Chain A
């Protein structure tokens, strides 16, 4: 399993990674990108099982990346969770319309992240 974490904040990528490691995801699960362009290049080169993507980033932002992925046949069913500080309902609606499978407002919690990952990957919640 490979999880690609896309966030322009290195600290935020580490927090997400550490949160998932506390949930027993092994360290080699994670790939990282600092913006949508880097993420796109990684997605083209490697198999990814889940994308966790921030919204506000320099270059190709998270929303633009999601739209680009959903317009590309091979990424139409890639599970995507947007992990962002954007907490307004109109932001959530815009992200869902763009094609995200779920949406999480920062700061992330272990329980919240686990539930959303299990849901988008179709795993049973224990």
Chain B
């Protein structure tokens, strides 16, 4: 098992949430994702990774927290998921993934533009094959969210 490369992603989440929202997210116990799993979230931001390893990074939120975080960023009260909320979630997963690359510099990695999946209990199409996906749930004073990461031959179980 080698999941130490999860750490740069956890640190990137902590830095981003602290800087952007003055929140200190607490990482809870990681678990291995079952790929057919239906997520208990309302919106997910997804970044694909290519280069010396292929993989995926996903940040998933309940609607209430996504609205709350976007309200903090825009200064306008958000009551429904709209373009600004999807923009915020996309930019967050982009910042987390880009910042995590600093802790993975031994691998030259390219990151995609973010894409968004939304809807109650939506499903993510994870990379095919045997790439394990590790999910780290986070708690904050404003609600829970999760980070899921899979990196072929880098994060192994």
Contact = CB atoms under 8 A, between A and B. Distances in A.
User: Is chain B a partner of chain A in the same complex?
Assistant: yes
A56 to B, nearest CB: 6
A9 B87 contact: yes
Given A56-B111, A88-B105, A9 B90 contact: yes
Interface of A: 8-12, 14-15, 56-58, 84-91, 105-107, 109
Q: Is the interface of B mostly helix, strand, loop or mixed?
A: helix
Best-buried of B73, B74, B95, B109 by chain A (most CB within 10 Å): B95
Interface centre among A11, A57, A109, by most B CB within 10 Å?
A: A11
Interface string B68-100: 001001100000000110011011001111111
Interface residues of B, number: 28
B19 interface: yes
Contact of B98 (A11, A15, A87, A89): A87
B102 interface: yes
Nearest to B96: A85
